[in-house]
């Protein structure tokens, strides 16, 4: 209470010592509120009205957070105008304010005005005073009874919640399984969607490539090195696909050693196969020129090796063999 009295005395002193050159013009400012009594936390509207006067330039108060101690600004509204016969007669500035402390409050603002003919100098005047009272919610301390904080209420799980949880789990399982399937297809270089194309058996691929090699007649054109490169590559790919031996990156001796190790030599003459690789290495790296009989024999060895080591349960491979044999006969 003492603090409020000191505040009132201060305001009265400021009003008593305020002097101005535009006393009549400043009377055009009016400070007002729409309520004089509120409860803690309620909002009231603080309005500043200025009757338009071309002789002065007013500056409305710039309020940030606190209007006066104990009174807070909620929001500031834009300046509104009042027109009389399409001529501005009044400016209105509204502020929404509130208070969270009970008590009696007084509000007044310093008003800065300038003369349009002398804008460098300005005068400051105090507005009129508005007051309002903030009440608390009355509590009967005689009959009031305090209660402990209640524990959270546990509601039973509904069927819709269970179904929603099942859908989430089922959807997560589908996403995980689908991701694993797509990853495996991508890793195996298969199409991500749709059925993968059936893989052509290695011996079918070898017979077709040997057939193409026969028709190209490379060694007859003097391309002996390329001819033997093609033959050995066909055998390397066949050994890799048929017996899962990484033959493409190995030397001839390493391939022959793996053939011996995996007992593939029991299916075909190891000596003939070694002779073919030996002739091929001489032709590719030692500029050796094999005879026509050696060239024919190397092709025959490659063909017989694929024929002797192909899976016996296949039924379509003899057709490929017949095609190559027919081309040999025609040649």
Alpha-carbon distance 106 to 241, whole Å?
A: 97
Instruction: Dig out the tokens for 251 from the structure.
Output: 């030397």
CATH code matching the domain that covers 2-135, chosen among 2.10.10.90, 3.40.50.720, 2.60.40.740, 2.60.40.10: 2.60.40.740
Alpha-carbon distance 272 to 235, whole Å?
A: 13
Alpha-carbon distance 234 to 203, whole Å?
A: 10
**DSSP assignment letter at 220:** G
Alpha-carbon distance 87 to 52, whole Å?
A: 10
* Per-residue pLDDT, 318: 47
Alpha-carbon distance 245 to 256, whole Å?
A: 11
Strands (E), the chain: 29-33, 37-39, 43-51, 57-59, 66-68, 71-76, 80-84, 87-98, 103-107, 110-115, 118-126, 130-135
* Per-residue pLDDT, 17: 43
* Per-residue pLDDT, 321: 54
Kind plus residue range of the DSSP H or E element containing 284: helix 270-285
Residues near 128 by beta carbon (within 8 Å), at least 6 away in sequence: 29, 30, 31, 108
Measure Cα distances from 71 to 3, 90, 95, 105 in Å. Answer: 15, 27, 12, 8
* Per-residue pLDDT, 21: 40
Residue spans per domain, the chain: 2-135, 156-188, 202-330
* Per-residue pLDDT, 176: 93
Residues of the chain with pLDDT under 70: 1-28, 52-58, 85-88, 115-119, 189, 192-197, 313-331
* Per-residue pLDDT, 43: 93
CB of 60 closer than 8 Å to CB of 78: no
CB of 328 closer than 8 Å to CB of 214: yes
* Per-residue pLDDT, 262: 85
CA angle 131, 136, 138 (to 5 degrees): 135
* Per-residue pLDDT, 15: 47
Strand partners, 87: 84
Contacts for 205-208 with beta carbons within 8 Å, 24 or more apart? Answer: 205/237, 205/238, 205/241, 206/234, 206/235, 206/237, 206/238, 206/306, 207/303, 207/306, 207/317, 207/320, 207/321, 207/323, 207/324, 208/320
* Per-residue pLDDT, 19: 40
* Per-residue pLDDT, 167: 93
* Per-residue pLDDT, 128: 87
* Per-residue pLDDT, 29: 79
């Amino acid at each position: 209470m003492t603090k409020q009295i000191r505040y009132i005395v201060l305001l009265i002193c400021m009003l008593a010592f305020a002097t101005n050159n535009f006393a009549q013009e400043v009377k055009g400012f009016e400070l007002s509120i729409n309520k004089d009594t509120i409860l803690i936390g309620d909002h009231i509207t603080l309005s500043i009205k200025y009757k338009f006067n071309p002789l002065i330039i007013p500056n409305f108060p710039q309020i940030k957070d606190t209007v006066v101690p104990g009174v807070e600004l909620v929001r500031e509204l834009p300046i509104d105008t009042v027109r009389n016969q399409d001529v501005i007669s009044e400016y209105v500035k509204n502020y929404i304010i509130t208070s969270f402390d009970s008590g009696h409050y007084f509000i007044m603002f310093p008003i800065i005005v300038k003369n349009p003919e002398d804008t460098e100098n300005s005068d400051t005047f105090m507005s009129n005073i508005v007051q309002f009272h903030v009440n608390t919610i009355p509590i009967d301390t005689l009959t009031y009874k305090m209660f402990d904080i209640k524990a959270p209420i546990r509601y039973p799980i509904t069927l819709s919640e269970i179904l929603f949880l099942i859908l989430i789990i089922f959807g997560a399982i589908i996403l995980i399984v689908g991701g694993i399937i797509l990853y495996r297809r991508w890793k195996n270089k298969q199409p991500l969607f749709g059925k993968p194309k059936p893989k052509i058996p290695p011996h079918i691929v070898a017979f077709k490539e040997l057939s193409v090699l026969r028709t190209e007649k490379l060694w007859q054109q003097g391309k002996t090195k390329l001819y033997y490169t093609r033959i050995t590559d066909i055998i390397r790919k066949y050994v890799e696909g048929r017996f899962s031996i990484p033959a493409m990156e190995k030397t001839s001796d390493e391939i022959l050693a793996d053939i011996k190790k995996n007992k593939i030599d029991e299916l075909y003459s190891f000596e003939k196969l070694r002779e073919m690789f030996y002739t091929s290495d001489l032709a590719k790296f030692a500029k050796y020129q094999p005879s026509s009989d050696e060239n024919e024999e190397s092709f025959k060895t490659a063909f017989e090796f694929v024929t002797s080591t192909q899976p016996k349960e296949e039924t379509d491979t003899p057709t490929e063999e017949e095609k190559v044999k027919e081309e040999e006969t025609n040649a």
